[in-house]
Homo-oligomer: A and B are copies of this chain.
C-alpha cells in the first residue's frame, strides 16, 4: 500500500501564515516592494471566500507566495451599544473563538485608552465623570472622537502587520461616529467591516451588568452610591444621543448584526463575507444558562499500557474501574446540582437562568470511550457517540509507540517535535491539530447552544483542543498541555469568565479529589 505524505505544502503554508507578529511585520515590509495594485487585487478577490487555516490553502502566483499569510479575509468588527450591554463579554468570546480557529484576532478597547489618556484628571473622584459623556459637551466629544479614531488607527496598522480580525470595542452609539469610522475605512480596500450591536432589555442581566460596572477602574476608590449615581447619569447621557443600527445605516450598504438579549433575537443585514457569516452563526448560538461541562480522557486502555498511539483498543481493568467511578461521581454532582436548582427556584430566579435538569454525555465512536461510559444509565443521561470526537488520526503511525515512530520515521518525529500544531501525520487521511480543530468546530457551536450539563469523554489531542477553546489557552501552549489519564475537568462558563476545576481519580479511594489547576 503506497503511503504518500499528503499536505506537506499546506503545513508549511499554515506555519508561515500563522506566524507571530514579528515575522508578519517583516513580510509586510517585503510586500511594500511589490506592485501595490497586484497585491490589492489578490487581497480583494480572496477577501470573502472560504478560508479555514490549515484545511484550505490558496494557490498564489509565484511572486506572491511568500506573502501567503497576508491573504484571506481581513475583518474589522465595529461594536455598537450602550454601556453595560454585554459588549465586552461578546467581544471576549468572539476573540476566543476566532483565535481558536487560528485567525489572529485582537480587541482594541476605547475605554481603556480613555482611562490611560486621562491619567491624573480625576475630577469628581472618577477618572471621567458623567459630564464627560454629555453629548452637549463639545470639548469632551472631540476628545472621545479622537480616542475612538486613535484606536481605529492602531487596529488598522495591526491588520497591516498580518492580523486577521480587529475588533473596535466602544459604544459607537451615534450614526455620526459610525460614519466617521466608515469614512476612515473606505481608504482601506482590503478590509471588510461588520457592525455588531448588543442590545439588552432583560432586567436581570441589566442589573447584573450594572453592578459589574461599579467595580470598573473608572470608580476605583469611589463609594458605591456615588459610583452608581454617576454611572446612571453617564448612561442617561449616552441614551440621549443613542441611535440603534437600522434603515439609515442600511442605506450605507454596510453589513451588520444586532444581538438582542444574548442570542434571544438576532437581526443580520447584508452579511456577505465567509468570516462574517461564521461570526454570526457563533454569536447566535449563545446562552447564559448556568451549567458545568465535564471533560475527561477515556479510562486506561490496553494500548496505553504498552504506549501505543491510535487504534481502537478496549479498556484495561483499571480503566473500567475509572469509568465506573466517573459515573458515580457525576451522579453525585448531579444531585448537588439539583439542590442548587431548588435553591434557585426558592430565590425566584427567572426560568432562563435556572439549571437545566438533563445531563448529556458525549463520547467518541471508539471502544475505549464507549466503554468508559458503560455504567452511565441511558435512562438518566442523554448519551451520544460522536465521530467528531475520535482521536487525531495518525496515518501510518497508527498503532506505533513514539519510540517506534522515532526509529522508523526519524524525520517525521523531528518535524512533529518542531511544530506539533501544524504537523500533519503522513499517510492518507492523516490529521494535524488544525484538521481536528476544524472537525470540532460544529461541536463548539453545539456546546455554546446547549443549556444542560455535559460530560465529554474523549482522547488526549481532542481534549487539549477543547480545553484550548474553553480555557482560552495560547496556541503555542495548547499542544503541549498536560492532560493525564484519569483526570476530570469541570468548566463553568460564567458571564464574567470561565471557572475551571480539576479532579484527580485516586485509585485507592476510588473517588475524585480536587487539585489546583495550572493554566
Contact B367 A4 (CB under 8 A): yes
Give the interface size class of chain A.
Answer: 35 or more
Chain B residues contacting A383 (CB-CB under 8 Å) are: 58-59
The answer to whether A265 and B267 touch (CB under 8 A), given A385-B57, A387-B7, is yes
Q: Which of A99-107, A202-210, A442-450 contacts B (4 or more CB under 8 A)?
A: A442-450
B-contact 0/1 string along A387-402, CB 8 Å cutoff? 1100001000011100
Chain B residues contacting A365 (CB-CB under 8 Å) are: 6-7, 10, 57
Chain B residues contacting A398 (CB-CB under 8 Å) are: 1, 428-429
Contact B266 A388 (CB under 8 A): no
Chain B residues contacting A439 (CB-CB under 8 Å) are: 439
Closest to A432 in B: B387
A477 within 8 A of B: no
The answer to whether A379 and B2 touch (CB under 8 A), given A358-B45, A387-B56, A393-B428, is no
Closest to A374 in B: B59
A386 within 8 A of B: yes
Q: Which of A84-92, A149-157, A269-277 contacts B (4 or more CB under 8 A)?
A: A269-277
A207 to B312: give the CA distance in the assembly, Å: 60
B-contact 0/1 string along A51-86, CB 8 Å cutoff? 000011111110000000000000000000000000
Partner of A50, one of B50, B60, B274, B443: B443
A379 to B366: give the CA distance in the assembly, Å: 45
A49 within 8 A of B: yes
Closest to A287 in B: B272
Closest to A250 in B: B265
Q: Among A59, A438, A442, find the residue whose CB has the most chain B CB atoms closer than 10 A.
A: A59
Contact B267 A55 (CB under 8 A): no
A332-375 contacts to B, CB under 8 A, are 358, 360, 365-367
Chain B residues contacting A378 (CB-CB under 8 Å) are: 59-61
Partner of A429, one of B270, B367, B393: B393
The answer to whether A1 and B60 touch (CB under 8 A), given A270-B264, A358-B45, is no
A449 to B270: give the CA distance in the assembly, Å: 12
A130-176 contacts to B, CB under 8 A, are none
Q: How far is the CB of A446 from chain B (nearest CB, A)?
A: 5
A46 within 8 A of B: yes
Chain B residues contacting A50 (CB-CB under 8 Å) are: 384, 386, 442-443, 446
Chain B residues contacting A59 (CB-CB under 8 Å) are: 378, 383-385
A312 to B312: give the CA distance in the assembly, Å: 25
Contact A388 B55 (CB under 8 A): yes
Q: How far is the CB of A503 from chain B (nearest CB, A)?
A: 24
Contact B265 A268 (CB under 8 A): yes
Closest to A445 in B: B277
Q: How far is the CB of A429 from chain B (nearest CB, A)?
A: 4
A311 to B438: give the CA distance in the assembly, Å: 23
Q: How far is the CB of A74 from chain B (nearest CB, A)?
A: 16
Contact A284 B311 (CB under 8 A): no
A7 to B313: give the CA distance in the assembly, Å: 14
A230 within 8 A of B: no
Partner of A1, one of B6, B49, B367, B399: B399
Closest to A358 in B: B45
Contact A312 B57 (CB under 8 A): no
Q: How far is the CB of A11 from chain B (nearest CB, A)?
A: 11
Contact A384 B57 (CB under 8 A): yes
Chain B residues contacting A310 (CB-CB under 8 Å) are: 428
Partner of A267, one of B1, B45, B267: B267
Closest to A362 in B: B50
Chain B residues contacting A49 (CB-CB under 8 Å) are: 360, 382, 384, 446, 450, 452
A377 to B62: give the CA distance in the assembly, Å: 11
The answer to whether A384 and B274 touch (CB under 8 A), given A399-B2, A439-B439, is no
A4 to B302: give the CA distance in the assembly, Å: 14
Q: Among A2, A310, A438, A439, find the residue whose CB has the most chain B CB atoms closer than 10 A.
A: A2
A129 within 8 A of B: no
Sorted nearest first, the 10 A-B pairs with minimum C-beta distance are: A1-B399, A59-B383, A4-B312, A393-B429, A55-B387, A429-B429, A50-B446, A266-B268, A61-B378, A57-B385
Q: Would you list 9 pairs from A and B whose C-beta atoms are within 8 A, ordered by A residue?
A: A1-B400, A49-B382, A49-B384, A49-B450, A59-B384, A264-B270, A268-B284, A310-B428, A387-B435
Name A residues whose Cβ lies closer than 8 Å to a Cβ of B: 1-2, 4, 6-7, 10, 45-46, 49-50, 55-61, 250, 264-271, 274, 277, 280-281, 284-285, 310-313, 358, 360, 365-367, 377-379, 382-388, 393, 398-400, 428-429, 435, 438-439, 442-443, 445-446, 449-450, 452
- Give 20 A-B pairs besides A4-B312, A58-B384, A265-B267 with Cβ atoms closer than 8 angstroms: A1-B311, A2-B311, A45-B382, A49-B382, A49-B384, A49-B452, A50-B384, A50-B386, A56-B384, A250-B265, A265-B269, A265-B270, A267-B268, A271-B284, A274-B446, A277-B284, A277-B449, A387-B438, A393-B428, A393-B429
